[in-house]
């Protein structure tokens, strides 16, 4: 299988339970909820995405002919040492491309594989840490994992509807939008009202990291 990668780089994980961890960030190109073109945003299933996942022209991006080639790229970016290796695979929607061959190749290089998905496609077996971020109006088929991260506020979403899903952690993340203060206030208010949830911030943006 050929993998289309928008970007791949070494950084700190900025969101969720593993925030602050050293990680190689692997972003696949393409998504099933939005084309990535601004002219299509208003009619997309997900209208608030803050990520460029179009093409393969980002830092460390490109087309990789096989799983070993892409896993070698991830290992090169990590550098020396095999202790606590972490790769965070995202998109776009990573389940459009992620497969068992790539997971096996990353495991062979001592990486823990974390994945961030919208949950509309079933997760591949072998993932070590799975984060699902539901989007309003979509059918989420992956209802179990390590963390459920709900971007807030979203019209047409009731957080209570997710609370019986099989996740170890339930996170509320303020939407990165034009009125960030209002989004933050709404997120804090929800967590104060529903203690099953925890607040998650995009710390990489606060720190100026990619």
Residues 132-166, buried b or exposed e (16+ Cβ, 10 A)? bbbbbeeebebeebbbbbbbbbbeebebeebeebe
Q: Tell me which of 7, 15, 93, 116 is the catalytic residue.
A: 116
- Cα separation, 9 vs 82, whole angstroms: 17
**Would you call 2 a catalytic residue per the annotation?**
no
**Would you call 204 a catalytic residue per the annotation?**
yes
The token pair that represents 14 in the structure block: 């900025």
**Would you call 25 a catalytic residue per the annotation?**
yes
**DSSP letter (8 states) at residue 203:** H
Strand partners, 91: none
Q: Tell me which of 31, 146, 167, 170 is the catalytic residue.
A: 31
**Would you call 177 a catalytic residue per the annotation?**
no
Return the closest-CA partner of residue 17 out of 152, 114, 123, 120: 114
Q: Tell me which of 7, 8, 25, 120 is the catalytic residue.
A: 25
**Would you call 46 a catalytic residue per the annotation?**
yes
Q: Tell me which of 49, 120, 146, 147 is the catalytic residue.
A: 49
The residues, any chain, with a CB within 8 Å of residue 166's CB and separated by 6 or more, are 143, 144, 145
Q: Tell me which of 7, 46, 93, 167 is the catalytic residue.
A: 46
The residues, any chain, with a CB within 8 Å of residue 33's CB and separated by 6 or more, are 44, 45, 46, 49, 93, 118, 120, 135, 138
The token pair that represents 21 in the structure block: 């961890």
Looking up tokens 């990520």 gives: 51
Q: Tell me which of 11, 47, 51, 138 is the catalytic residue.
A: 51
**Would you call 49 a catalytic residue per the annotation?**
yes
Q: Tell me which of 40, 50, 163, 185 is the catalytic residue.
A: 50
**Would you call 51 a catalytic residue per the annotation?**
yes
Question: What are the residue numbers of the active site?
Answer: 25, 31, 46, 49-51, 116, 204
């Amino acid at each position: 299988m050929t993998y289309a990668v928008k970007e791949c780089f070494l950084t700190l994980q900025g969101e969720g339970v593993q925030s602050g961890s050293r990680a190689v960030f692997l972003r696949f190109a393409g998504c099933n909820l939005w084309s990535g073109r601004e002219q299509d945003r208003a009619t997309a299933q997900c209208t608030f995405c803050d990520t460029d996942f179009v093409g393969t022209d980002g830092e460390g991006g490109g087309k990789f002919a096989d799983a070993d080639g892409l896993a070698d790229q991830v290992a090169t970016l990590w550098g020396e040492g095999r202790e606590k290796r972490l790769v965070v695979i995202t998109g776009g929607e990573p389940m459009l491309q992620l497969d068992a061959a790539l997971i096996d190749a990353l495991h062979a290089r001592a990486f823990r594989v974390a994945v961030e998905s919208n949950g509309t496609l079933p997760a591949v077996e072998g993932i070590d840490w799975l984060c699902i971020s539901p989007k309003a109006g979509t059918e989420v088929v992956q209802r179990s994992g390590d963390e459920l991260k709900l971007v807030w506020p979203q019209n047409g979403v009731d957080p209570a509807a997710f609370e019986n899903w099989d996740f170890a952690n339930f996170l509320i993340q303020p939407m990165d939008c034009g009125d960030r203060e209002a989004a933050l206030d709404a997120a804090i208010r929800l967590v104060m009202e529903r203690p099953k949830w925890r607040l998650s911030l995009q710390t990489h943006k606060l720190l100026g990291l990619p």
